[in-house]
């Protein structure tokens, strides 16, 4: 096995994910959910899950179906499962959103949307875990970045398990006292396992490899990287296992969260040191837009951690937990996701179109598929809008938050247009765009072209 | 084949391989230092040892096929064998000075 194949359905995941992000930002612009409604209100839950599942999880799944094989230099266990998996996840998300709308009195039908969502999302994410898990299992011993992904997938399993229990309890299907206890006290575990474990820990693992690859920096496998892995894994175990044990034994979940938080901050400090080293030790003097914007997102992660610590010290964390979650979701994860998406779409499109004619005719570079100068202003607008939105949340200025959400929406749609231009080869010079044997790629899925 | 003719033949193959670019770096694989060795045997048999910038890269198969097709385009080549190796692993120091300058490699 010398290389890995192109993931056929990754583009479909990306398209669905970007549409979900645009929908979520439109919901914020419309003033539905937090901060106009309490953070635990059904409208807020609808918004949060549209972002967490619709945007971030679909993005992550699509990316992992392509990049786990790259990390472990082995093919994906199944190339046919991602499509039905996507169907289950999208249907499950729709049922979940309708379930929240039902709870909020927006939708008034007797259909049990939440239990249906539990089944569909449970099945969809189980297929994700099966496919990626089998791929990783077959590749043991795993390189360090892949071990972060394993930690992320374990956290996904926990997030989904808690989510399924919540949906069954809220949907009135599960009435067993223990499960009701989980639904009552388990929310911090669900949120931290999802945002901190599944999304952040996995993104950390992938970033070690992608940043090194795209900037020609040395791949890190030293003490700080191992330290970040072990501390992060310990943090997640403290929150998930310790928290679950606390619920079962009528202990205090927040003790487990506090221990996990301390370990998590230590993990992020080591990760930060590694990332600074990666950027400094890079061989490429000119850093591409994706790596520059990833750096902004990483700085946002550091700033979010600092803000969280300050709020804790001031005894105001609970008052502003929504700001911290917003920053994790949009300043860090979405910023990093959009930055890497900008590169990955170009890279996969190049492979699909020009890989088969390599050596037969002159081909453009991956960078020829994008126009960074045009895209950069949309990224800048996005990040500035996110910072303003976060400030508006801190200062309790809902109108300012909605205005900033409008700017985020505009920037995201503009980045989406750039991604479509890349996919359509619209940025490639006409004389190189379609050499003999190359046809424009499908927008939503990849197929190997015969050179 | 005399040593001079052999060297000229290898040079023609090397020139043909310059048609193949590493998509990420956007520069040809010869000057990036990804082609480790070119051997010519009797009967137009060409053996190329090459690598990629990173192990497991999805472009690996295309780079290998591209190098094979490019070498095969040289007149009198009858058979091309491309061997992929990661020993030694590629580093940016293996680039030519022109490639380093072009790519802004520090």
User: Is residue A5 helix, strand or coil?
Assistant: coil
Average confidence (pLDDT) over A214-239: 94
Q: How far apart are CA A34 and CA A406, in angstroms?
A: 15
Residues forming beta bridges with residue B46, ordered by sequence position: B40, B80
- Chain B residues close to A5, C-beta within 8 Å: 58
Q: Which of A2, A217, A285, A361 to mutate to test the interface with B (most CBs of B within 10 A)?
A: A2
Q: How far apart are CA B26 and CA B37, in angstroms?
A: 21
Beta strand B45-50 with B35-41 is antiparallel
| Angle of helix A144-170 versus helix A113-137 axis, rounded to 10 | 160
Indicate the domain borders of chain A: 331-442
CA closest to B105 among chain A residues: A284
Backbone angles phi, psi at A372, to 5 degrees: -65, -35
Residues forming beta bridges with residue B83, ordered by sequence position: B49
* pLDDT surpassing 60 at residue A2: no
Nearest-neighbour CA in chain A from B23: distance (Å): 5
Backbone angles phi, psi at A209, to 5 degrees: -80, -45
Q: How far apart are CA A340 and CA A347, in angstroms?
A: 10
Q: What is the pTM of this model?
A: 0.94
* pLDDT surpassing 50 at residue A265: yes
- Chain B residues close to A349, C-beta within 8 Å: none
- Chain A residues close to B61, C-beta within 8 Å: 2-3, 355
- Chain A residues close to B57, C-beta within 8 Å: 3, 70, 213
A402's tokens: 């909605």
pLDDT tens track for B72-94: 999 999 999 999 999 999 999 99
* Interchain CB distance below 8 Å, A359 and B21: no
* Interchain CB distance below 8 Å, B23 and A359: no
Q: Which of B64, B66, B93 to mutate to test the interface with A (most CBs of A within 10 A)?
A: B66
Q: What is the pLDDT of residue A1?
A: 39
- Chain B residues close to A282, C-beta within 8 Å: 106
- Chain B residues close to A3, C-beta within 8 Å: 52, 56-62, 64
Nearest-neighbour CA in chain B from A251: distance (Å): 47
Q: Which of A93-97, A323-327, B4-8, B46-50 has the lowest mean pLDDT?
A: B4-8
In B, residues 36-75, which contact A (CB 8 Å cutoff)? 52-70, 73
* Interchain CB distance below 8 Å, A3 and B61: yes
* Interchain CB distance below 8 Å, B65 and A363: no
Q: What is the pLDDT of residue A150?
A: 98
Helix or strand holding residue B37 (H, E): strand B35-41
The answer for residues whose C-beta is within 8 angstroms of residue A74's C-beta and 6 or more apart is A1, A4, A135, A138, A139
* Interchain CB distance below 8 Å, A72 and B69: no
- Chain B residues close to A6, C-beta within 8 Å: 58
- Chain A residues close to B20, C-beta within 8 Å: 358-359
Average confidence (pLDDT) over B30-50: 95
Any chain A CB within 8 A of the CB of B105? yes
Q: What is the pLDDT of residue A98?
A: 97
Backbone angles phi, psi at A257, to 5 degrees: -65, -40
Q: What is the pLDDT of residue A448?
A: 64
* pLDDT surpassing 80 at residue A3: no
Average confidence (pLDDT) over A244-251: 94
Nearest-neighbour CA in chain A from B37: distance (Å): 18
Nearest-neighbour CA in chain A from B36: distance (Å): 17
Q: CA separation (Å) from A130 to A111, A134, A135, A146, A369? A: 30, 6, 8, 15, 34
End-to-end CA distance of chain A: 21
DSSP A331: I
Q: How far apart are CA A85 and CA A170, in angstroms?
A: 25
Q: What is the pLDDT of residue B2?
A: 84
pLDDT tens track for B51-63: 999 888 888 999 9
> Are residues A121 and A115 in contact, defined by beta-carbon separation less than 8 angstroms?
no
Q: CA separation (Å) from B92 to A106, A322, B25, B32, B87? A: 59, 45, 11, 8, 15
Decide which of A3 and A40 is more confident: A40
Q: How far apart are CA A120 and CA A94, in angstroms?
A: 10
Residue carrying the six token digits 């998590």: A264
Q: What percent of chain A has pLDDT over 90?
A: 89
Average model confidence (pLDDT) across chain A = 95
pLDDT tens track for A53-82: 999 999 999 999 999 999 998 999 999 999
A258's tokens: 């506090």
* Interchain CB distance below 8 Å, B62 and A358: yes
Q: How far apart are CA B16 and CA B83, in angstroms?
A: 17
The domains of chain B, with CATH numbers, are 3-103 (3.30.300.130)
- Chain A residues close to B53, C-beta within 8 Å: 213, 216
Average confidence (pLDDT) over A297-306: 98
How sure is the predictor about A4, in pLDDT bands with cuts at 50, 70 and 90?
low
* pLDDT surpassing 90 at residue B1: no
Q: What is the pLDDT of residue A450?
A: 54
* Interchain CB distance below 8 Å, A368 and B104: no
The DSSP annotation for A65-129 comes to HHHHHHHHTS--S-SSTHHHHHHHHHHHHHHHHHHHHHHTTSS-----HHHHHHHHHHHHHHHHH
Decide which of A1 and A142 is more confident: A142
Among the partner-chain residues B53, B56, B84, the one whose CB lies closest to the CB of A70 is B56
Q: Residue A243, preceding bond cis, omega within 30 degrees?
A: no
Average confidence (pLDDT) over A103-129: 96
ipTM of the complex model: 0.89
């Amino acid at each position: 096995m010398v290389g890995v194949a192109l993931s056929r359905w990754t583009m479909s995941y990306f398209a669905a994910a970007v549409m979900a992000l645009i929908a979520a930002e439109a919901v914020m612009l419309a003033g539905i959910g937090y901060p106009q409604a309490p953070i635990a209100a059904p409208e807020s839950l609808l918004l949060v899950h549209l972002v967490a599942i619709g945007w971030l999880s679909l993005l992550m799944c699509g990316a992992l179906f392509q990049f786990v094989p790259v990390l472990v230099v082995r093919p994906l266990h199944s190339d046919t499962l991602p499509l039905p998996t996507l169907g289950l996840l999208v249907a499950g998300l729709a049922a979940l959103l309708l379930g929240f709308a039902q709870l909020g009195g927006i939708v008034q039908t007797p259909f049990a949307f939440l239990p249906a969502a539990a089944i569909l999302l449970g099945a969809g994410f189980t297929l994700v875990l099966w496919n990626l898990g089998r791929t990783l299992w077959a590749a043991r011993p795993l390189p360090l970045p892949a071990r972060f992904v394993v930690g992320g997938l374990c956290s996904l399993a926990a997030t989904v398990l808690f989510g399924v229990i919540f949906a069954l309890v809220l949907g009135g299907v599960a009435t067993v006292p223990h499960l009701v206890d989980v639904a009552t006290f388990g929310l911090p575990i669900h949120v931290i396992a999802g945002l901190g474990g599944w999304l952040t820990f996995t993104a950390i693992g992938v970033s070690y490899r992608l940043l090194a690859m795209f900037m020609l920096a040395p791949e890190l496998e030293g003490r700080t990287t191992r330290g970040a892995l072990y501390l992060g894994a310990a943090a997640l175990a403290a929150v998930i296992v310790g928290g679950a044990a606390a619920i079962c034994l009528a202990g205090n979940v927040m003790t487990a969260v506090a221990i996990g938080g301390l370990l998590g901050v230590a993990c992020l400090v080591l990760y930060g040191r590694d990332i600074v080293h990666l950027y400094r030790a890079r061989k490429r003097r000119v850093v591409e837009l994706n790596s520059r914007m990833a750096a902004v997102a990483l700085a946002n992660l550091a700033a979010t951690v600092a803000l969280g610590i300050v709020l804790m010290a001031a005894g105001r964390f609970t008052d502003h937990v929504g700001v911290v979650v917003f920053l994790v979701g949009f300043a860090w994860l979405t910023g990093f996701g959009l930055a890497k998406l900008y590169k990955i779409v170009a890279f996969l499109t190049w492979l699909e179109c020009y890989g088969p004619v390599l050596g037969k005719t002159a081909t453009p570079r991956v960078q020829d598929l994008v126009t960074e100068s045009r895209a950069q202003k949309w990224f800048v607008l996005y990040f500035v809008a996110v910072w303003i939105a976060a400030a508006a949340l801190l200062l309790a200025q809902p109108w300012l938050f909605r205005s900033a959400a409008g700017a985020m929406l505009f920037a995201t749609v503009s980045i989406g247009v750039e991604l479509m231009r890349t996919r359509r080869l619209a940025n490639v010079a006409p004389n190189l765009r379609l050499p003999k044997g190359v046809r424009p790629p499908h927008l939503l899925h990849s197929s190997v072209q015969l050179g | 084949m005399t040593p001079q003719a052999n060297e000229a033949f290898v040079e023609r193959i090397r020139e043909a391989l310059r048609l193949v670019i590493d998509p990420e770096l956007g520069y040809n694989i010869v000057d990036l230092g990804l082609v480790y060795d070119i051997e010519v045997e009797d009967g137009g048999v060409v053996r190329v040892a090459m690598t990629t910038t990173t192990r497991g890269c999805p472009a690996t198969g295309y780079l290998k096929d591209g190098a094979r097709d490019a070498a095969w385009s040289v007149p009198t080549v009858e058979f091309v064998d491309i061997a992929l190796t990661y020993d030694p692993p590629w580093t940016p120091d293996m680039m030519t000075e022109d490639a380093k300058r072009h790519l802004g490699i520090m």
